[in-house]
């Protein structure tokens, strides 16, 4: 199914964008709460535990960091565009502030490497927070900045070169793990989006039973293949004239009501909905799942569609509305079925001359007393399982020879002599 149009395409991008938006807002909240707690501890702990006074960072700088975190949190909640910058805000806000705060502490404790060494824990937390962006390059950017700043702090503290190399290795390892998890998450989102899109698509085209079978087949069903199918075209008679007396909302409501009943009937007989054509419908039987009795299914479906229309007309008459009339043409032949169209817009459809013949048989019902006409090919595939009346040879546009057609009889009208037509 062409990777659900460009490997999940817009569906995947929408899913990732929605996840990034949620993550950005969660991260903004966590950052604000965390910095608020850290700011409080930095202010109050030295007053309670005197030994920690030398580790107290500049209160004014911490206040600026808190205000920056509050601003980012506020902006994320109100602007989806700013929220999409998640990860980059860590690189330009959190990393510099953490560095300046720790630099202040290291500078007050010359020769003591511990404050600089503790900084690596903050940088690793920020790298993990950058993973909320679901973008590998942002994680690596934050990791690179963090590694450079940590090296600066350790150099100020005169840390051993081997220790510095080890810290850089740890930061790189955390970044690699986060990047790997991000790629796995994106793969999972893409898989879920593809499956969801496929289910939605199957639900539009196929009956539940056929959709379940197609889902088992996977993407292989979308490949083009030649298949004998029975095509059904339906069209409401004089709908243009009727719609002129209706508002646009009434036209849409009428079509939705009528199409819903017809599609339910098509699905009930295991048919595939190909497309809507204004007030008309194209469907076929025998693909993508093979149905040996596709011709009989199509004919019985056509009769059932007329019954469904009769039920709708009963309701319309009660409401004082004019009844609707519908013509249906059915033809059997070999067509090409599969995903057809441009890369960004494909449809599972059938193409070939039998499609044109079925459409023209439907058009012929406008000039014939029968509301359902089927070709001799379809009648031959059905055999004696349905009664028919001969409708005579009909001249169809594009056909040099007349096409013999038949009118199927509803079950209550079947008679032994009708099969002889």
Structure tokens at 287: 């693909």
CA distance 74 to 57: 25
Q: Are 23 and 133 in contact (CB under 8 A)?
A: yes
pLDDT 10s digit of each residue in the chain, 421 long? Answer: 333 334 446 667 777 777 778 888 888 888 888 888 888 888 888 778 777 777 788 888 888 988 988 888 888 888 888 887 888 888 888 889 888 888 888 888 776 777 788 888 888 988 988 888 888 899 999 999 999 998 888 888 888 888 888 888 999 999 999 999 888 888 877 777 666 666 565 555 565 555 565 565 555 555 568 899 999 999 999 888 888 888 999 999 999 999 999 999 998 998 988 888 889 999 999 988 889 999 999 999 999 999 999 999 999 999 999 999 999 999 999 999 877 766 666 677 889 999 999 999 999 998 888 999 999 999 999 999 999 999 989 888 878 888 999 999 986 544 443 333 3
């Amino acid at each position: 199914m062409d990777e659900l149009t460009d490997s999940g395409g817009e569906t995947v991008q929408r899913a990732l964008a929605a996840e990034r938006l949620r993550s950005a807002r969660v991260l903004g909240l966590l950052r604000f709460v965390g910095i608020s707690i850290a700011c409080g501890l930095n202010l109050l702990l030295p007053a309670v535990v005197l030994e920690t006074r030398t580790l107290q960072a500049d209160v004014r700088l911490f206040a600026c960091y808190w205000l920056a975190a509050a601003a980012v949190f506020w902006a994320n909640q109100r602007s989806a565009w700013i929220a999409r910058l998640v990860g980059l805000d860590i690189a330009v806000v959190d990393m510099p502030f953490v560095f300046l705060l720790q630099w202040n502490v290291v500078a007050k404790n010359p020769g003591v490497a511990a404050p600089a060494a503790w900084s690596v824990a903050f940088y690793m937390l920020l790298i993990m927070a950058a993973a909320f962006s679901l973008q590998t390059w942002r994680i690596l950017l934050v990791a690179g900045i963090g590694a450079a700043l940590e090296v600066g702090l350790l150099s100020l503290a005169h840390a051993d070169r081997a220790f510095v190399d080890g810290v850089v290795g740890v930061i790189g390892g955390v970044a690699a793990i986060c990047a790997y998890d991000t790629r796995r998450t994106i793969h999972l989102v893409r898989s879920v989006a593809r499956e969801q899109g496929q289910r939605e698509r199957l639900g539009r085209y196929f009956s539940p039973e056929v959709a379940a079978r197609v889902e088992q087949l996977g993407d292989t069903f979308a490949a083009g293949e030649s298949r004998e199918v029975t095509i059904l075209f339906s069209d409401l008679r004089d709908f243009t004239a009727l719609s002129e007396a209706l508002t646009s909302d009434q036209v849409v409501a009428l079509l939705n009501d009528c199409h819903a009943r017809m599609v339910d009937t098509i699905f009930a007989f295991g048919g595939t909905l190909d497309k809507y054509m204004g007030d008309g419908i194209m469907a076929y039987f025998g693909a993508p799942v093979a149905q040996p009795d596709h011709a009989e299914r199509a004919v019985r479906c056509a009769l059932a569609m007329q019954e469904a229309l009769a039920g709708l007309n009963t309701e319309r008459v009660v409401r004082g509305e004019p009844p609707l009339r519908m013509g249906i043409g059915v033809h059997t032949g070999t067509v090409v079925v599969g995903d057809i169209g441009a890369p960004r817009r494909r449809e599972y459809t059938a193409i070939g001359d039998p499609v044109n013949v079925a459409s023209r048989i439907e058009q012929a019902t406008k000039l014939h007393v029968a509301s359902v006409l089927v070709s001799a090919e379809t009648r031959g595939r059905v055999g004696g399982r349905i009664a028919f009346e001969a409708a005579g040879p009909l001249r169809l546009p594009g056909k040099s020879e007349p096409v013999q057609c038949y009118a199927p009889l509803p079950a209550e009208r079947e008679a032994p002599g009708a099969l002889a037509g």
